[in-house]
Amino acid sequence: MAGTRTLRSLLAFGGLALILSCNGGSGHSGGTGTVQVHLTDAPIDLSTVQSVTVTITGVIVYRGSDTMMPQVDDGGSIALVTHPETFDLLTLTGGATTLLASGEVPAGSYQRIRLDISSATLTYKDGTEAPLKIDSNKVDIPISFHVAVDQTSNMTLDFDAAASVQVNDTAAGTLILRPVVTPVGMGS
């Protein structure tokens, strides 16, 4: 992202230099001026952020097959959560975890988990809040796992707040939530 901004800035600076050099020979001899071109890259600094809360309204697991090729079969979906719950992602750092969903499901193979997100908010340390625009309220996490009869399968998903909160360059600094969620641990 920073490389794209740098390239755009260099192209803009090159175009400005070309315009200024062309105007320099146009017969204007009344004086000189100064042009200052500033470049900045201001990513979100989470050190000024108190919390990043997301409200998850659903956690759905999708049945798969025992083959290596994943199936996309929405008929094999099982909802584990059907009511909203809000989580502060910044309280879940340094190895801290919280239970997101639990439920009884048929034994067998599963291929993915879907999170349904209804809202998200960033709160700065000074108390001001910024609602996060959500690009897609459905986040699919490809993860193959097997549930054995009379056994509990545990897994941990990492919802990376720093990677998920982005600034929209085209909408006057609008904050966007583009969830980056990866599986980090599985066990029984």
Q: What is the DSSP string of 70-99?
A: PP--GGGEEEEE-S-EEEEGGGS-TT----
Q: Rounded distance, CA 83 to CA 61, Å?
A: 15
- Domain map (residue ranges) of the chain: 1-41, 46-187
pLDDT at 119: 95
Tell me phi and psi for residue 84, to 5 degrees.
-70, 145
**pLDDT score at 138:** 94
Give pLDDT, residue 40: 42
- First and final C-alpha spacing in the chain: 39
Calculate mean pLDDT across residues 32-45.
53
Flag the least confident range among 1-10, 30-39, 156-165. Answer: 1-10
Cα separation, 17 vs 156, in Å, equals 53
Evaluate if residue 174 carries a pLDDT over 60.
yes
Which of helix, strand or coil describes residue 116?
strand
pLDDT in tens, 144-167: 888 888 888 888 888 888 889 887
- Say which residues have a Cβ less than 8 Å from residue 101's Cβ, sequence separation at least 6: 59, 80, 81
Quick one: DSSP state of residue 68?
A: S
Token pair for 91: 């309280």
pLDDT 10s digits, 54-99: 999 998 989 886 444 444 444 588 888 878 989 999 888 888 888 8
Give the DSSP letter of residue 10: H
